[in-house]
Amino acid sequence: MTRLSVNINKVATLRNARGGNVPNVVKVALDCEKFGAEGITVHPRPDERHIRRSDVFDLRPLLRTEFNIEGYPSPEFIDLVIKVKPHQVTLVPDSPTQLTSNAGWDTKRNLGFLSEVLEAFNGAGIRTSVFVAADSEAIEYAAKAGADRVELYTEPYASAYPQNRDAAIAPFVEAAQTARKLGLGLNAGHDLSLENLRFFHEQIPWLDEVSIGHALISDALYLGLERTIHEYKNCLI
């Protein structure tokens, strides 16, 4: 079964735009679980422009499904994750000023750094995932660094899907097969939507998890959160 993890960053962005606690980030996360999501993802950035450190601590004891924290492994981020002990940590190569994650790790170049960070998280009993492009070499070096899983950066697939879905998915199938041969778990995320998710899953049915935020929260404005989560889950059957 492929799990749906809902990234709630955009809910926090809306809250922060006005101040106060509307919408309530914790309530939305718990509602996502109630409506069928199998996980919650957050990305606490240094400027706290959406998810705050306090949100991470508030969520941890209340969530009943898998909790995934993603971010760049700065000393502050590592300290937060070790203290919170989520089920999974996803490492992204973002700079503090980036608007959103827009590239995977150069795992070969960063092998030493990633190995050290992954060892710390694995030693704390936290499952690790490394954000990578659909590139076999990047996946091989993620395995060498000690990752439990890789998360495929799917924006290139989403961009190419409307023109030629078969060409768009081809490098991702190859990358997914590499991960499976190496014994790595497989996640995917970034710009997956109701338009392109079903085909992605049909071609790579052994996916462990998809993490979806922007498109899902945007769809919920029209469809409502409960129906939207059901629609996304239907794409993963």
DSSP secondary structure letters along 16-39: HHH-TTSS-HHHHHHHHHHTT-SE
**In Å, how far are 22, 57, 98, 127 from 93, measured between CA atoms?**
31, 23, 10, 18
pLDDT at site 190: 96
* CATH code of residue 56: 3.20.20.70
pLDDT at site 98: 55
Residues paired with residue 70 on neighbouring β-strands, in sequence order:
90
CA distance 197 to 124: 33
* Assessment of whether the complete model's pTM goes beyond 0.85: yes
Pairing between β-strand 209-212 and β-strand 3-7 as defined by DSSP bridges: parallel
pLDDT at site 176: 98
pLDDT at site 97: 61
Range of the domain at 80: 3-234
- Nearest residue to 172 (alpha-carbon basis) of 144, 194, 146, 150: 150
Whether the CB-CB separation of 97 and 72 falls below 8 Å is answered with no
pLDDT at site 99: 54
Tens of each residue's pLDDT in the chain, 237 residues: 999 999 999 999 999 999 999 999 999 999 999 999 999 999 999 999 999 999 999 999 999 999 999 999 999 999 999 999 999 999 999 766 655 656 799 999 999 999 999 999 999 999 999 999 999 999 999 999 999 999 999 999 999 999 999 999 999 999 999 999 999 999 999 999 999 999 999 999 999 999 999 999 999 999 999 999 999 999 999
Q: Give how far the C-alpha of residue 229 lies from the chain's centroid of Cα atoms, to the nearest Å.
A: 16
pLDDT at site 103: 79
Total count of domains within the chain: 1
Say which DSSP state 134 is in.
S
pLDDT at site 177: 98
By annotation, the residues acting in catalysis are: 43, 70, 190
